[in-house]
């Protein structure tokens, strides 16, 4: 996944490089059929994430429960269709700006000498302190390109309303709630997302 997504590139290791370490995380999850599946994820060592990579604003992409309840009540009142989107490996889509220049120690799964080479991040990985920010910027760009506007009070909520048609999108980390009575916009929106991200629509 990391190579297919161009998450990093291999570069020559320099003496002044400050390298972050990675670790494997293993977990069991249930699929839509209730079957247990084992997942493995290569993540950054957050406890070793240095201050130079920290930002003044660390994004928490969580829409409050009260807002979710309000959005669902609007859907019921306005008879909107409700969809749930699961963006798979969402954080791996967020590009890292060149000015940040984050380097990682070569993971053990690669047959490369870690004393001579390093990984330069092109996109975020899980548990990096700026991953949420990178993912939000990436997904928000796609939402705005589809004609929605951001709520001025809830930064994870977007909407579009015109001629009796209403569309609402709410982000909750890598899950997205979509409500709409505009079939044309839904088709265009979902089609646009599927060209950029690997996702499941429920």
Whether residue 74 lies inside any domain: the answer is yes
Rounded mean pLDDT, 34-47: 76
Q: Does the pLDDT value for residue 136 go beyond 50?
A: yes
Give the predicted TM-score (pTM) of the model.
0.81
Q: What pLDDT sits at residue 56?
A: 47
SS3 track for 81-97? EEEEEEECCHHHHCECC
Rounded mean pLDDT, 36-63: 65
Q: What pLDDT sits at residue 195?
A: 94
Question: Strand pairing of 36-44 and 22-30?
Answer: antiparallel
Whether residue 3 lies inside any domain: the answer is no
Whether residue 96 lies inside any domain: the answer is yes
Q: What pLDDT sits at residue 102?
A: 84
Q: Does the pLDDT value for residue 161 go beyond 90?
A: yes
Percent of the chain beyond pLDDT 70? 90
Whether residue 53 lies inside any domain: the answer is yes
Overall size of the chain counted in residues: 202
Per-residue pLDDT tens over the stretch 78-130: 999 999 999 988 888 888 876 678 888 888 778 888 889 998 989 888 888 78
Cα separation, 93 vs 95, whole angstroms: 6
CA nearest neighbour of 169 among 108, 81, 91, 107 = 81
159 phi and psi angles, rounded to 5 deg: -155, 165
Whether residue 66 lies inside any domain: the answer is yes
Q: Does the pLDDT value for residue 137 go beyond 80?
A: yes
Number of domains in the chain: 1
**Which range has the top average pLDDT, 48-57, 96-105, 145-154?**
145-154
Q: What pLDDT sits at residue 145?
A: 95
Domain residues for the domain of 87 are: 8-201
Q: Does the pLDDT value for residue 169 go beyond 90?
A: yes
Whether residue 176 lies inside any domain: the answer is yes
Whether residue 129 lies inside any domain: the answer is yes
Residues sharing a CB contact under 8 Å with residue 46, sequence separation 6 or more, in sequence order: 127, 128, 129
Whether residue 1 lies inside any domain: the answer is no
Q: What pLDDT sits at residue 49?
A: 52
């Amino acid at each position: 996944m990391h190579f297919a997504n161009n998450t990093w590139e291999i570069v020559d290791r320099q003496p002044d490089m400050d390298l972050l370490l990675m670790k494997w995380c293993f977990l069991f999850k249930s699929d839509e059929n209730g079957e247990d599946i084992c997942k493995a994820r290569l993540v950054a060592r957050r406890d070793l994430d240095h201050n130079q990579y920290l930002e003044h604003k660390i994004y928490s992409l969580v829409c409050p429960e009260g807002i979710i309840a309000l959005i669902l009540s609007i859907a019921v009142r306005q008879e909107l269709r409700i969809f749930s989107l699961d963006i798979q490996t969402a954080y791996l889509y967020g590009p890292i700006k060149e000015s940040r220049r984050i380097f990682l120690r070569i993971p053990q799964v690669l047959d490369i000498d870690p004393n001579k080479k390093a990984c330069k991040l092109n996109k975020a990985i899980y548990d990096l302190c700026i991953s949420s920010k990178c993912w939000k910027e990436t997904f928000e760009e796609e939402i705005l390109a589809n004609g929605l506007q951001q709520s001025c009070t809830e930064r994870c909520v977007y909407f579009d309303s015109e001629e009796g048609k209403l569309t609402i999108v709410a982000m909750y980390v890598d899950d997205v709630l979509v409500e709409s009575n505009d079939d044309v916009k839904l088709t265009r929106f979902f089609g646009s997302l599927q060209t950029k991200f690997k996702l499941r629509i429920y």
